Structure 1
């Protein structure tokens, strides 16, 4: 049996996070939306405040200076952060990739600890122009040479690489007996000769949150740039993907909750035909469906986190949380606009942003189709199908 009632400690963490979001992030949402830019000086200021509030690197273990929060508490924190503009909350309240915990003591000293302290910023590079969901199809190669490795290839859709200090890079390093590429992960400083960061694509979702194209032109990295074991990059990346899918699910819950709260308030106060519009079944039933689906998604996400804390979570658990929460967000955002009518599409309210931002959640960190494939595979494989 599981009990998701918040402990006193969890309640305190949620209250601190909620206060930070409302006091420090909400006031800057309009600026980021209108300009499409998160000013560097504002990002620096908010990072310092996040560090002071104890919210920075909350996903990292205490042994490296992080908050060491359990998965359930992290979901509660991410849900609160998710209510704010993505550019503001994700860029300024950093969650260094937990894949860095696979590093050697020297790598952790150079990369992990500075990330936790807010002195360095990481980015992850997996996706390529010809390899998205099919990670094994990547073409970026790392070839052994005297003193290290030589890397050549291109990555794209790399989140906030334009402000990162180093990249966690997945590259092909060989071929297995079945002819499939074997992968390894490298830590590459972005000021390394041969590495270039190009402006990425304009995105309808998450204004101010940038993506970039990374080119590696015969880049030499030393032997100690290898993270983990050679050829084990695919498995290592898999440990990271589960955590990020849970994170995506949680932030989707936060935005859906914000849209629902606005909709309930509007339905209770907006008068038409002499009564609040929430009394009409056409609106009231929408609210009922929105809250029912949101609570179902929340339970799936908390259940996956609960299992993660016990070491029993599966890829399917994470996939179910991610696909349900991202699709519920899309539904709630759309219905929220319908309830608000024309004003829902005006930028005086955050609903049109939430609606736009919702679209990417069903694509990144594994599309809804990939999540369903993972779930279906977990059902069929035990039967040999």
Structure 2
């Protein structure tokens, strides 16, 4: 493995960081204090992101994206991750890769408009009674002639309030397995405005202000067969095939925020005077900086190695689970220590540290909790010896 960045990768890192600092940082305080991301601001930044070539950069070149390999994409995500989540995710959108699984007609209707910035998507899996246990979902899709009828509720659905359509996973039947009956899952495209489909306000969230979640309700929502994404009853396979790297994306954005927090801590430790000297000269502070930097380096190596292996076709679920687990728990540690070094000022919203600290909490929950990641890792270790 070569650890240096290519000239192209360095250019992408520099371009993305410059965009984040110039176009996103200035609006962070507004979003944090109001909890709202203005529509006109979204459109303004979106236009600049498209012009800079940063919009939908996760998509392959043959469909109009930047065609980044996984490792380069993670470097790009790391830089975007420095900013308020609502700003970088909503204004510099990365459409879900699962759109690539659509038919040619579905690509024309959903994928290409998302890449051009004309539409946006949201992904709906989680239910009030089924979070990490997707096979336990109760929301259902029943075939009625050539149509499908959807019923049930999804919640914690990110940015569904501004999305033009949802990619919804529904229980569409049952099958026998070694552990008894389990749900078959089918994925559907559901457009806003479809009769029987309602988007309601979600919950107020301590993390990622301005980045909303919604409750999706389906009440005899009728869809034609053309709205099925992938094969009937194969929604789980579609998700596993196209959504695997999202854990690495979470890890990469955590790296960016941790690096920003560490930078503030280093600067403050070098400038703040107490007892006649810089506080960074006290071991109680300097050792914190050393531990923060070491944890950040370890997490970065794990995320980037997993991204590199993804491109080689050798990545395992264990690799991605380890990377996600380490990066998210590292961010919580670094954010907390950065605030401790700043003392009371670290909790004031004049600095981004209290936001980074709050935002860090959700990272250990979404895209698979830390407990789920540990389960994946431990099962892989035990399976190797017949456990």
TM class by shorter chain equals over 0.9
Report the Cα distance in structure 2 between the residues aligned to 1:192 and 1:64, rounded to whole angstroms: 27
The answer to whether the 8 A contact 1:18-1:80 is kept is yes
Tell me the CA shift for residue 241 of structure 1: 3.6
Where 1:328 maps in the other structure, the secondary structure is: helix
Query: Counterpart of 1:102?
Result: 101
**Cα deviations by residue, 1:63-115 (Å, 9 ceiling, x for unpaired):** 11011101111111111000000010011111111011111111111111111
Residue of structure 1 in register with 2:281 after alignment: 279
State the SS of the aligned residue for 2:214.
Answer: strand
Name the SS of the counterpart of 1:364 in structure 2: coil
Aligned residue among 327, 334, 342 for 1:340: 342
Unaligned runs of 5+ in 2: none
Mapping 1:56-71, distance limit 5 Å: 56-71=55-70
Deviation digits for residues 115-154 of structure 1 (CA, Å, limit 9, x no counterpart): 1110110000000000001110001111111232111110
- Give the C-alpha shift of residue 384 in structure 1: 2.7
Distance 2:169 2:245 in 1: 17
1:226 corresponding residue in structure 2:
228
* Equivalent residue number for residue 288 of structure 1: 290
Q: What is the rounded CA distance, in whole Å, between the counterparts of 2:264 and 2:19 in structure 1?
A: 20
Query: How far apart, in 1, do the equivalents of 2:245 and 2:187 lie?
Result: 17
1:291-339 deviation per Cα after TM superposition (whole angstroms, max 9, x unaligned): 0000000000000000001111111111111110000000000000000
Distance (whole Å) between structure 1 residues aligned to residue 147 and residue 299 of structure 2: 46
Normalised by the length of structure 2, the TM-score is 0.98
CA apart distance, 1:273: 1.1
Find the counterpart in structure 2 of residue 136 from structure 1.
135
**By how many angstroms is 1:382 displaced?**
3.0
Aligned equivalent of 1:91: 90
How far apart are the structure 1 equivalents of 2:384 and 2:125? 30
* Structure-1 residue corresponding to 2:75: 76
Q: 1:1-385 residue pairs with structure 2 within 5 A?
A: 2-178=1-177, 179-385=181-387
Q: Is the 8 A contact 1:241 1:365 kept in 2?
A: no
> How far did residue 50 of structure 1 move?
0.8
**What is the Cα deviation at residue 383 of structure 1?**
2.7
Contact 2:97 2:243 in 1 (8 A): no
Q: In 1, distance between residues paired with 2:365 and 2:241?
A: 19
Query: What SS does the aligned partner of 1:209 have?
Result: coil
Is contact 1:141-1:173 (8 Å) kept? yes
Which region of structure 1 is more displaced relative to structure 2, 125-134 or 178-187?
178-187
- Report the Cα distance in structure 2 between the residues aligned to 1:181 and 1:54, rounded to whole angstroms: 41
2-structure distance, mates of 1:280, 1:214? 53
* 8 Å Cα contact 1:4/1:302 also seen in 2: no
Question: Please, which runs of 5 or more residues in structure 1 have no aligned partner?
Answer: none
Cα distance in 2 for partners of 1:191, 1:292 equals 50
Quick one: distance in 2 between partners of 1:259 and 1:140?
41
Instruction: Quote the Cα distance in structure 1 between the aligned partners of 2:124 and 2:94.
Output: 16
* Greater mean alpha carbon deviation, residues 288-297 or residues 220-229: 220-229
Q: Which moved more, 1:226-235 or 1:151-160?
A: 226-235
User: Per-residue CA shift, 1:209-243, capped at 9, x if unaligned?
Assistant: 00000001111111011111111111211234421
1: CA distance between counterparts of 2:186 and 2:248? 24
Distance, in Å, in 1 between the alignment partners of 2:3 and 2:232 is: 40
TM-score by length of 1: 0.99
Structure-2 separation of matches of 1:100 and 1:378: 30
Aligned partners of 2:324 and 2:266: how far apart in 1? 25
CA contact (8 A) 2:165 2:191 kept: yes
